[in-house]
Structure 1
Amino acid sequence: MWDFSQIDLKIGSDFVGIKADDNGGYAFYLPKGFDDFIAKYQNATGTDDSSKFNKVRDFFFLMYRTFRKFDRDNENNSRVTRKDAKNKKNQDQPTLSTGGITLEYQEESECILYSKLSMIERVLETYDDLAINSIEKKVRRSEEIDHSKIYKYLDRAIYLDNGAIYIDVMDLPRPMISYESTNIVNLYCFILNEIIQQLQEDVPDHVYGRSQDIQFLSQRFRDNYLTINHSLFDQDTFEETITFCKEALDNTDRNTHYKDADYWGLYEAIEIFLYGGLNPDLDDGDFWGIQGEQGFDYVWEDMCQTYFFKKNFDPIYNYDFDDICFADTDIPIDGHENSNRPGIEKNRVGNWNFKGSDDKLNKFGNEWLHQKLNSGGRHPKRGKILSWREVFCIEWDLNMRIFPNVQYQIIQYKISKLLRRYPQPDLIWLRSINTDYIRIIDFKNVSLKKYEDYRNKFLEETDQSYRIALEKQLGYELALQQTFPDIPIYNCFFIPFYFTNKLESDQKFLGTMEDRFNIRGIEIFKADFEVIQKVYLGIIEASDVLVGWENYYQPKIEATRHIHPSRKQTEIILLENQILKSDYVPLISFKNEKQIKNATNYIIKQVEIFFETIGENMPNLVESYFPYSESILADEFKKVNIEYFYDNLFYDLGEKQEDRDAKGKLKVKPKWCITFHINSTPIEVPQLKIPNSDLCRRYGTIDIVGTPILYYIYFTLPEILDVILKNK
C-alpha cells in the first residue's frame, strides 16, 4: 500500500487518479479546483488532522468509492457503450491499457476508467465464509474400519480362539468445520477490517453482513502482534504496522506445512496488499483513476446531477422531481421507480426516450433525458404548448411568411416544413420562494483559475471549449427569455472547488458564488467538491445541504463581467480564404476592388430595403452579416455538429454592456446572410419587389422559439453580375 505522505500531488489536464512518477514514486492527480488543497497539504508535515498523510488518505478512499459507484452506475446503462472483460461482445477494439474499462458516450467521446486496484479488490473478493472458517481435517475415533490400515492396530486387536483378530474402533480423519482460525485468517481479517473502516462500510453485501465476525478475528491478530493504536492507515503507525504484518505473513508461511487452495487465496490477497502498487499484470493497468479528454467531466456531471435530483426527491412518496424542468442525464436514484424503464434500469431518471432522432448524431440509437412535458409556454406561431425540450429547439422555418404591412394569409402551417435541432442543457431548475425564477446550470469541470486567467485576455478565439461553453449557455438563456419573458432567469457555471479552513457551520454548505466577476452575465458558482461527493456516496443527505444562493442574485449586470469585442468579421467579403461550411455555396471571384465594392454596396442596399419591408429593425447591417460561406443548406442542417449553431449564431450574445437591458436580459441579435441556392430560401413573396427589378426576393430563417436569429436572403448570380457590368 502507498505511503500517502510521500505521494506527489498534482492537477492534470485530462486525468484524475494515481500513476507512477518518473522518479519511481507515485503522483496523485487531483480534480480541477484543488489548487488550494495542493498549496496547503503538498509539503505538510505534522501529527494533527491537517497533515498530508491523513488528508490524502481520506480523499483517496473517497475517490476510490466515487469511481466504484460511477462504474457500477454505468455497468447496465444503455446510454453508454462499455468495453471490458465483462462485456466482450462490445469489444470491437481493444482498450487503451490492461484492465481498463472504456465508456463511450457519443461520437468521438470516450473515457478510460480504472476503478479497481488489485491490492484492495483482491482482499474484498477473496472473502468466503468457508475459506475463513476453513475446512480442516480433524482426527477423531471412528467405528468405521479401514481394512487397509489393520496392520497399524495389531497391538490393540482382540485375538479370537480361531486365530482371527477383532478391531472395534480406529482413529480416522474426518472432515468437519472448525471455527478456530489460523494465523493467516487472523491476518487477512485484520487487513480486511482496516479496509472496511476506510471505505466506511461501502463494501460488498456478503462482506458487510459478516463485518462483526471479521472484526472479532481481526482483534485476535491485533492481540498477538500489535497494540491498540496500530493501523495500516494511520500516519504515525503505518510503516510499523506494515512491517509487523509482513513478518507475520512470512512466519505463517514458513510454519504452514499443508497449503491448499483456500490458503493460497488468502496468502496472495495479503501479499498483493502488503507489497503491491500499480501492477498491469494484475489488471490494475498503468494507472488507477479515469483518463480521457472528457473523462472526469462525466464523473463530475453525475455527481452534481445526483445532488440536485436527491435534493428534489422524496423516497417515501416517489416525489417526481417537480423543481427540475429539464436535465440531460439518466443517473440512478435509489428509491425512484421509473415506469418508462422496467427491469434492471427502473431506478434511472429520464422520462423521455428518443431513438435515432434528427437532433444529434446518435451512435447508439438510445438516448434518455428528464423533462417536464409541459413547460407552460407556447410557440408564438403555432400556438402549441411546448415541452421543455422544445423550448430550446432551433428551427429552420421554410413556411410561407406574413409581413406586418401585407395581407398574405397562411392557409395551413406545415410542420413538415420545419427542420429542427434540439440543444440539451445540463439542468434547468424552476424555483418558487417569494417569486418564480429559472436557473440554468451547466456543470463545468473547469478550475476557477482558468476563468480568472481569461478576465483580461481575449483568448476565446484560441480556446474552442471555453468559447463554445459560453455561446451555448447564452443560447439557452435567450431561448428561455423568448418563452418566459416575465420570469427572472439566472445563468451559472457550476465548477468544482476545494475549500480550506472550513468552519463547523460550513461543513454542509453547497458552496459560494464568485462575486469578483462573471462572464457575459454568467455567474460562477464554486461548488464544495467534498459536500457534492458525500451526497453522491450517500454519506450525507442532500436535504441537509444548505444552498445559500437563493438571495444572491440581483436583477442587474455587474460592471465587472467579461466584455470582449466581437470576434466575427465586420465587413462583407464574398471571396473568403477559409474552409467552406457548406458544400453547395458557390464562390464569386472579382477582378478588382471596384467590383467588390460595387457588389457589396448593392447587397447592403437591397438588404436594407428587405428589412424595412418586413418591419425588422437591423441597425448594424454590416456587423450582423453572416458570411455566406458559413451558411448551410437544408440537407446539411441535420448533419452538422450542434456546436455549429452555437459558434455561428450565438457567438456575440452579451459581449457588450448594451447587449443586456436594465433587468439583465439578453437582447436578440439577429443576423443575416446572402444565399445563391434556391433550396435555402424557397419562400416566394410576390408583394415584395426590388426597385428596377422583376426579381421576387425570397428568404428563410433559422429561429429559436419562433424568433428569427438568422435570415437567409436570396440573391442570384446574374443579379450580382448585372451590377458589376453596369458599373464598369
Structure 2
Amino acid sequence: MFDFNKIKIVKGEELEGYGSFVGIRRDRGGNLVFSLPKGFDNFEETYNNVKELFFRMYRTFKKFRYIYTNKLDNISDERPQSKDNLIINNDLSYRFVNKENNEEVILYSKIDAIDSIMDLCKELEIATLVREIGLTEDVDYSRIDYLIDKGIYQKNNAIFVEFSLDKRNVIKDIPSDLIEMYCYIYKELAVELKVDLDVAIADISASFSAKYLSYNQGLFNENSFISTVLTLKDVLNKIHNLTPYKNNHYWLIYEAIEKFLYGELEANIDNNEEGFWGINNFSQVWEDMCNYYMASKRENQNILYCDTLTPINKEGLIKKKFGGYWVYVNKDFYNPFYIEFNDKKRWMRPDMVLENREKFLVNSEIEKLYNESIRRHIKESSFSHIYEEVRFTLRDGYHSNTFFEFLDRLRSNLFRQHKIISRQSRFLPKNKYSFSIKNIEKDKLSLMLDKFFQKGMKSKDSNQADIYIIDWKYLPLNFFNKKSEKSMLDINKQLVYEFCLSSQETYQEKKIRSQFGLPFYTKSQDYPFFAAKETNISGIEIMYVDFYMIQEVYLDA
C-alpha cells in the first residue's frame, strides 16, 4: 500500500507536461507521482490532505466506471455513440472515445492492493463465514455435563477439556489470526472509502488491534503507517510458517493481504501497459460531476438541456436522441442547437442549459408567500365610503431579509399599478415592516393583487439572466488568458450555442448568458460557483467551480 508521505505531488503549472492525466503513476526514476486535477494550485500537501484526496478520487473513478458500464447495458442504439465506444481489458482498463475531440480515453480504476481486500469480503461473504461453527478453547461451563466424556482425567482428579464446539470468529480450517488480520485491514479501508462496516467485522478487527497493535497505531495514520505495516508483515509471516494445512480459502485471504502489504502499482503492470492508476483525460469525469450537481442541487433553476452520462431522475426531463446522441431535455423544450445546410442538420451539444427560476416566481408561489407572511388591515376611508385604507404588515416570525424584500416588492408593484388603476390613492412612507395605501377604491385592490400574483415577482438583481448556457471546461485557471487556437474554438462554439438559442422566437426577449465552468480547489467556500478575476471573455463569463463541493455530491449519489 502507498505511504502518502512518499508520493510526489504534481499540480498547477507543473501539470503542463502531464496533459489531462489525473491519478498515480511512476516517473522515470521509479517514484510514485500523484497528478492532481487542474485548478488545485492552492492544494496544501499534507499527509491527511493527500490521503483524503486519493481515496475520494478512488471512489470517483469507481463511480464513473459504474455509470459508464451500466449506461452501455441500459441504452440500445441503432449505431454506437462515440461515448459508447467502450472496451474492457481484463477488468482493469476501460477505453472509450472522448466526445469533444474523438481521442481515446483510458481509465484504470483498480488497484489490486485495495481491490483484493474489498472484493474478497463479498466473494467469501466474510461477515457470514466468521459466524460459522468452529473450534474454540473457551469452555461453556453451563454445558459442562455434556463435555465430561471429552475430558482428560488428571491424577489430582481434575478434568481437562481440550476444546469444544462453539461459535467462534473463524472460518473452519483457517487460522483465526489470519481472519482477524484481514478484518482489520478491511475495516481500515472501509473507514477511508466510506463503506458501511458489518458489526461482526468491526468486532474481529478490534480483537486483532488489541493483540498486536498499540492504541494509537493505524494503517492510515501518518505517524504509525510504517510501524503498523511492519507489524502486519511480521504477523502474516508467522501465520504462514505455522499453518501446516492451507486450503483454497486460506490462499485467497493470504494472497489478498499479501498484495495489500507488499503491493503498490506493481500488481497491475502485467495487464496495464501504461503502469498507472487513474484516467488519462479527466474532462469527461469533470463534466459528469458538474452536471450531476446541477441536476440534484439547483432547485431554483430549471434544466432545459443536459448532456450527461449520469442518470438524472427529475420531473419534466426526458431522454431524446439528436444526431445519434442521447441527451436529457425538458419535455417542453425545442432543441435549437444545430446548423442546417441542404436540409441536413448538424447537431451541437452544450453541456447544460438552465432557466433561472429565481428571476421569476409563478403566481401560486407568490400568493402562498403573501398569505403566509403578510397581514392586511382594512378600514373605511375618511375621504369617502367608496374608498378604504389598507395597511400591509409582516406577521411575527417573518422578520427576515427575505420577507423584508418581498414586502418591498409588493409595495413597489402596487405603487406602479395605482397610477393606472386608482389615481386617488396615496402611499405612506415605507419601512421594512409595513406600508399603507390611503384612499384606494374598494374594488380595485383585489384587481391589483391579482395582477401582482399573475405577473410574478421579478428579481431586483438585474444582473441575473433568464437562461444560462454552460460548458464545463477541464482547463487550467489561466487558460483563457493565453490566446490559442483551442481557446478561440471553445469561445466560438459557445457563442454559436447562444446564437442558436436566441434565434428562437421563444427566447428572443430572454436575457441569455454563456458561462464556462473551470475546476478550482478550496474548502473555504459556502457556495460552489464564483467569478474568476477576468470574469468576461468575448461576452462569456468564466466561473470557478468548487471541486471539493461538487465531488462530495457526486460521491453521495
TM range (shorter): 0.5 to 0.7
Q: Is the 8 A contact 1:18 1:287 kept in 2?
A: no
Q: Offset of 1:116 from its aligned partner?
A: 0.6
Q: Offset of 1:221 from its aligned partner?
A: 0.7
Q: Which residue of 1 aligns with 2:340?
A: 395
Q: Offset of 1:422 from its aligned partner?
A: 1.9
Q: Which residue of 1 aligns with 2:285?
A: 299
Q: Offset of 1:485 from its aligned partner?
A: 2.5
Q: Which residue of 2 aligns with 1:553?
A: none
2:39 corresponds to which of 26, 33, 38:
33
Q: Is the 8 A contact 2:304 2:355 kept in 1?
A: yes
Q: Offset of 1:251 from its aligned partner?
A: 1.4
> Quick one: distance in 2 between partners of 1:517 and 1:532?
21
1:73-115 CA distance string (max 9 Å, x none): 011213512211479xxxxxxxxxxx31112355833311101
1:377-432 CA distance string (max 9 Å, x none): xxxxxxxxxx1x1x222223x6xxxxxxxxxxxxxxxxxxx332222111111013
Within 5 Å, which residues of 2 pair with 1:93-132? 99-104=92-97, 108-127=102-121, 128-129=124-125, 132=129
Q: Offset of 1:511 from its aligned partner?
A: 2.9
SS of 1:112 mapped into structure 2: strand
Q: Which residue of 2 aligns with 1:450?
A: 479
1:54 aligns with 2:48: yes
Identify the range of structure 1 (121-130 vs 183-192) with the bigger mean alpha-carbon deviation. 121-130
Could you tell me which amino acid in structure 2 is paired with residue 470 of structure 1?
I
Q: Offset of 1:185 from its aligned partner?
A: 0.6
Rate the CA distance shift 1:36–1:281 in 2: closer, same or farther, 3 A: closer
> Quick one: distance in 1 between partners of 2:133 and 2:29?
47
Q: Is the 8 A contact 2:87 2:94 kept in 1?
A: yes
Q: Offset of 1:353 from its aligned partner?
A: 2.5
Q: Which residue of 2 aligns with 1:329?
A: 308
Q: Which residue of 2 aligns with 1:267?
A: 254
2:552 corresponds to which of 534, 541, 547:
534
Q: Is the 8 A contact 2:65 2:109 kept in 1?
A: yes
Rate the CA distance shift 1:100–1:241 in 2: closer, same or farther, 3 A: same
Q: Is the 8 A contact 1:114 1:285 kept in 2?
A: no
Within 5 Å, which residues of 2 pair with 1:582-621? none
Q: Which residue of 1 aligns with 2:2?
A: 2
> Quick one: distance in 1 between partners of 2:239 and 2:207?
15
Q: Offset of 1:449 from its aligned partner?
A: 2.1
5+ long unaligned stretches in structure 1: 42-51, 88-98, 141-172, 202-207, 314-320, 340-348, 376-386, 399-417, 540-728
Higher-Rg member (1/2): 1
1:318-351 CA distance string (max 9 Å, x none): xxx9701111224124xx3899xxxxxxxxx752
> Quick one: distance in 2 between partners of 1:61 and 1:240?
21
Q: Which residue of 2 aligns with 1:20?
A: 26
Q: Which residue of 1 aligns with 2:542?
A: 524
SS of 1:2 mapped into structure 2: coil
Within 5 Å, which residues of 2 pair with 1:344-493? 350-354=318-322, 357=323, 362=324, 367-375=325-333, 387=334, 389=335, 391-396=336-341, 418-433=343-358, 434-435=458-459, 437-452=466-481, 454=482, 459-460=483-484, 463=485, 465-483=486-504, 484-493=507-516
1:182 aligns with 2:176: yes
SS of 1:244 mapped into structure 2: helix
> Quick one: distance in 1 between partners of 2:41 and 2:273?
27
Q: Is the 8 A contact 2:286 2:474 kept in 1?
A: yes
1:467-489 CA distance string (max 9 Å, x none): 21110101111222222222111
Could you tell me which amino acid in structure 2 is paired with residue 218 of structure 1?
S
Q: Is the 8 A contact 1:70 1:299 kept in 2?
A: yes
Q: Is the 8 A contact 2:67 2:309 kept in 1?
A: no
Rate the CA distance shift 1:269–1:497 in 2: closer, same or farther, 3 A: same
Q: Offset of 1:223 from its aligned partner?
A: 0.2
SS of 1:512 mapped into structure 2: strand
Q: Is the 8 A contact 1:18 1:27 kept in 2?
A: yes
> Quick one: distance in 2 between partners of 1:262 and 1:230?
28
Could you tell me which amino acid in structure 1 is paired with residue 40 of structure 2?
F
Identify the range of structure 1 (271-280 vs 57-66) with the bigger mean alpha-carbon deviation. 271-280
Q: Which residue of 1 aligns with 2:78?
A: none
Q: Which residue of 1 aligns with 2:208?
A: 221
> Quick one: distance in 1 between partners of 2:269 and 2:545?
38
Name the structure, 1 or 2, with higher relative contact order (CA <8 Å, separation 6+). Answer: 2
Could you tell me which amino acid in structure 1 is paired with residue 541 of structure 2?
E
SS of 1:490 mapped into structure 2: strand
> Quick one: distance in 2 between partners of 1:243 and 1:9?
25
Q: Which residue of 2 aligns with 1:84?
A: 88
Could you tell me which amino acid in structure 1 is paired with residue 512 of structure 2?
I
> Quick one: distance in 2 between partners of 1:427 and 1:187?
48
SS of 2:350 mapped into structure 1: coil
Could you tell me which amino acid in structure 1 is paired with residue 347 of structure 2?
Y
Q: Is the 8 A contact 2:136 2:167 kept in 1?
A: no
> Quick one: distance in 2 between partners of 1:182 and 1:137?
10
Q: Which residue of 1 aligns with 2:436?
A: none
Q: Which residue of 1 aligns with 2:190?
A: 196
Rate the CA distance shift 1:331–1:350 in 2: closer, same or farther, 3 A: farther
> Quick one: distance in 1 between partners of 2:293 and 2:276?
25
Sequence identity (%): 30
Could you tell me which amino acid in structure 1 is paired with residue 306 of structure 2?
A
TM-score by length of 2: 0.67
Q: Is the 8 A contact 2:132 2:168 kept in 1?
A: yes
1:595-646 CA distance string (max 9 Å, x none): xxxxxxxxxxxxxxxxxxxxxxxxxxxxxxxxxxxxxxxxxxxxxxxxxxxx
Rate the CA distance shift 1:283–1:185 in 2: closer, same or farther, 3 A: farther
> Quick one: distance in 2 between partners of 1:534 and 1:72?
17
> Quick one: distance in 2 between partners of 1:511 and 1:184?
49
Specify which structure has the higher proportion of helix: 2
Q: Is the 8 A contact 1:330 1:370 kept in 2?
A: no
1:230-280 CA distance string (max 9 Å, x none): 111111111111111111111111221221111111111111101101123
> Quick one: distance in 1 between partners of 2:473 and 2:59?
22
> Quick one: distance in 2 between partners of 1:177 and 1:228?
27
Within 5 Å, which residues of 2 pair with 1:652-667? none
Specify which structure has the higher proportion of strand: 2
1:277 corresponds to which of 261, 264, 268:
264
Could you tell me which amino acid in structure 1 is paired with residue 502 of structure 2?
Q
> Quick one: distance in 1 between partners of 2:356 and 2:315?
23
SS of 1:326 mapped into structure 2: strand
> Quick one: distance in 1 between partners of 2:472 and 2:282?
12
Q: Offset of 1:496 from its aligned partner?
A: 0.4
> Quick one: distance in 2 between partners of 1:123 and 1:490?
49
SS of 1:76 mapped into structure 2: helix
Give me the CA root mean square deviation.
3.0
